[in-house]
Structure 1
Amino acid sequence: MTDAAPLLFDRSLLAARLARARALGPASFLLDRVADEMGERLHAVLRDFNAVADIWTPGDALPAERFPGITRVAIDRSGDEALRLPPGSLDLAVSALALQFANDLPGVLAQIRRALKPDGLLLAALTGGDTLTELRQAFAAAEAEIEGGVSPRVAPTADLRDLGALLQRAGFALPVTDIDRVVVRYDHAFALMQDLRRMGATNVLVERRRTPLRRATLLRMAAIYAERFADPDGRIRATFEIVWLSGWSPHESQQQPLKPGSAKTSLEQAVRGNQPK
């Protein structure tokens, strides 16, 4: 028996599509937003991070002038997810819109945790399960109507509670998760799909459909999208859900949870103390 993670994503195809996106002229508005937010979150930490690694972020979204001393870990075209970072070598690990394509996210998080120095920080943003929900619904309805079936388009995603548990499982202290939802408007579904190609964000599931979509299916998808998800001015909405993760490598200076039984006041006494007299 093997405990290897299932291969959900064709990561060599992902690397090729990201390279093609750069050649097309990337659509970087989402990455730019995440990079700005990441800078603000790190500024609030009030610490200097000297040894920094960027894990798989596409392109140059996290510029060196904003993150001095950054080491970029590019996506391996072979699909290998080994990060090859020396243990205890990093003050900070960041990743923007990349970890959602990890076949073994618990394993990647564990590698990052080992690479961090004590009291080192992981800050990452990845797309969540509601990303492009409108497009996925429109495609599913069109394929069911025109072709009599639905091809795999939706990758499994973890909810916030699961992601917090994954951080703890990987050995991170003080884990925090939260969500930022971004709604972008387009003239029509094909304009959205063009942006997705320029992001390198098209379907890279191993079990993806291998034959081209029929023209009738594409046209019906666009019509359904406009029927269900257009604003009064006719423009369509596209939702991007950004999930933020942060966690610290354990250190004795960090706040520690109380040991069981160490509380000096019982819950019953605390409740009684708050009762009106």
Structure 2
Amino acid sequence: MSVSVKSLRSLRCLWRGWRGLSSQGGAINVFDRSMKRSQKQWASSLLDSDKYDYLRDEVGSRLADRVYDVSRTFPLALDVGCGKSHIAEHLNKDIVERLFLTDISDSSLRNRKKCEIPTQCVLADEEFLPFKENTFDLVLSSLSLHWINDLPGAFRQPVFVIQIHQVLKPDGVFIGAMVGGETLYELRCSLQLAELEREGGFAPHISPYTAVTDLGNLLGQAGFNMLTVDIDEVQVHYPGMLEVMSDLQGMGESNCAWNRKSLLHRDTILAAAAIYKEMYGNEDGSVPATFQILYMIGWKPHESQAKPAKRGSANVSFADLSKIGTLQTHHQKTNEKS
């Protein structure tokens, strides 16, 4: 019996699709975690790996700013999926007294950046945190959550976020950053249009990302309160599309979804590069790549935290907002007479 190359490719796609629909503890298995480990190991072992750290360093700095906004000292903190420790280098001992670093890649931990905070490294998969309940005062995570299998949808129990909630002490805070759904839309659109033109169809080449509308649901389902979610945008300019793809590989951010397409034809790549430059190119010949960054803050409940007022307890009506100027003038005149 003979089997064509096309048939083998179809069988491979069906296998990947089946793996993508399999579940572990109720979470859909979207990503090949062993491949992600290999990608991060390879990227962090490059001799010039530091030149690909610009995005992680920038987001790590912005996330550290949000830690400083919380006016307290954290005796014990955890950085989940720390990479080469891109957050810790922006913190000091006055804010975080001791820090645990965890990552799926031991090469990343070995090549971590220097910081003044006493640290301890733990090699662990982000999907299975090996810590006891009520351990940490602060949990951080920057640009690693988008590879977690139970995050892409908000209509299932967010197992990983529940784990973060469990390892936090009461009144502890989780501060995280992850890429959002509009990330790399230029690259995604260019590849899809090129494949439609050259191959008559397209396959996903960019990882599925969590939408900002899902984050509140994820944190709320896990038991966090006093939630804050905000969006930032980082745009990086490159000579062309090939440089965008090369840098993503150097960051360890290549797609690892089970249903990814294993091969991109040369003609499709060249066509996509031309489409990218035509649709999104700048006047100087460079092309932009947009990274949508979602920041989230959630607190583990504690009796000392402020409680929202009861429904119906307000003594001012929204209907009076249009008269606020008149009310202020009347109040001022009353005070002057007094």
Instruction: Answer yes or no: same fold by TM over 0.5.
Output: yes
Separation (CA, whole Å) in 2 of partners of 1:34 and 1:264: 40
Unpaired runs of 5+ residues, structure 1, are none
Counterpart in the other structure of 2:150: 104
Letter in 2 for 1:19: Q
Structure 1 residues 145 and 260: alpha-carbon distance in aligned structure 2, compared to 1, 3 A threshold: same
Task: Determine whether 1:206 maps to 2:251.
Answer: no
Letter in 1 for 2:288: R
How many residues end up aligned between the 2 structures? 273
Q: Does the 8 Å contact 1:89/1:116 carry over to 2?
A: yes
CA displacement at 1:240 relative to structure 2 = 0.5
Task: Determine whether 1:37 maps to 2:62.
Answer: yes
Separation (CA, whole Å) in 2 of partners of 1:206 and 1:233: 38
In proportion to residue count, which structure has more helix? Answer: 2
Task: Determine whether 1:240 maps to 2:269.
Answer: no
CA displacement at 1:183 relative to structure 2 = 0.8
Separation (CA, whole Å) in 2 of partners of 1:120 and 1:170: 14
User: Which of 27, 42, 55 is equivalent to 1:5?
Assistant: 27
Q: Does the 8 Å contact 1:127/1:242 carry over to 2?
A: yes
Counterpart in the other structure of 2:243: 191
Return 48-57 or 61-70, whichever deviates more: 61-70
Separation (CA, whole Å) in 2 of partners of 1:266 and 1:130: 40
- Cα shift readout 1:116-152 (whole Å, capped 9, x = no counterpart): 1111010000000111110011100111111111012
Across the aligned residues of Structure 1 and Structure 2, the Cα RMSD in angstroms comes to 2.3
> Which of structures 1 and 2 has the larger relative contact order (alpha carbons within 8 angstroms, sep 6+)?
1
Task: Determine whether 1:69 maps to 2:69.
Answer: no
Structure 1 residues 231 and 271: alpha-carbon distance in aligned structure 2, compared to 1, 3 A threshold: same
SS at match of 1:182: strand
Equivalent residues in 2 for 1:228-267 (5 A)?
A: 228-261=279-312, 263=313, 265=315, 267=317
Structure 1 residues 114 and 213: alpha-carbon distance in aligned structure 2, compared to 1, 3 A threshold: same
SS at match of 2:134: coil
SS at match of 2:28: coil
User: Which of 46, 51, 63 is equivalent to 2:71?
Assistant: 46
Q: Does the 8 Å contact 1:53/1:94 carry over to 2?
A: yes
Separation (CA, whole Å) in 1 of partners of 2:124 and 2:88: 26
Q: Does the 8 Å contact 1:187/1:236 carry over to 2?
A: yes
Q: Does the 8 Å contact 1:135/1:225 carry over to 2?
A: yes
Q: Does the 8 Å contact 2:61/2:90 carry over to 1?
A: no
Counterpart in the other structure of 1:88: 134
Structure 1 residues 189 and 156: alpha-carbon distance in aligned structure 2, compared to 1, 3 A threshold: closer
Letter in 2 for 1:87: E
Counterpart in the other structure of 2:205: 153
Task: Determine whether 1:178 maps to 2:200.
Answer: no
Which portions of structure 1, spanning 4 or more consecutive aligned residues, are displaced by more than 4 angstroms?
76-80, 272-277
- Structure 2 length-normalised TM: 0.75
Seq. identity, %: 35
Q: Does the 8 Å contact 2:39/2:252 carry over to 1?
A: yes
Counterpart in the other structure of 2:116: none
Larger radius of gyration: 2
User: Which of 185, 188, 193 is equivalent to 1:141?
Assistant: 193
- Structure 1 length-normalised TM: 0.91
